[in-house]
Amino acid sequence: MKKRRGIMKKGIYQYDVHGKRLWEAELDIPDEIEQAYRLGYQAVKIIHGYRHGFALGHYIRKRLEKHIMKFTSVPYVLIDYHEPGATIVRFIRNN
């Protein structure tokens, strides 16, 4: 890990939302993302699965970015959804 301007550079924080209902995920995911950002992680990998319904994946890929901007203090993110069953939210820091 590298320390740069008071923020520890860490790897990817993983958060698994299997078994959660959509409303639970809508409440929990922005909080987890903000926590990972404050702890200095570079990204959050949200594992949502892809074979048993896609409500969580749809929320994460289509509406999560708006929720991050509205409900957290995380300034900028890049959402990468090229992996089936998981989405990576990368933090863009202005350091």
Distance between CA atoms of residues 36 and 91, nearest Å: 10
Residue 91 lies in a domain: no
Please name the helix (run of DSSP H) or strand (run of DSSP E) that holds residue 11, with its range, or none: strand 7-16
Q: Per-residue confidence at 5, pLDDT binned at 50, 70, 90?
A: very low
Three-class DSSP category at 59? helix
Predicted confidence band of residue 30 (pLDDT cuts 50, 70, 90):
very high
pLDDT band at 4 (very low <50, low <70, confident <90, very high): very low
Number of domains in the chain: 1
E strand or H helix at 70, and its extent? helix 64-71
Please report whether residue 89 resides in a domain.
no
* In a domain? residue 76: yes
Reported pTM: 0.82
Q: Is residue 93 part of a domain?
A: no
User: Is pLDDT above 60 for 26?
Assistant: yes
Is residue 45 included in any domain, yes or no? yes
The band of 95, judged by pLDDT with boundaries at 50, 70 and 90, is: low
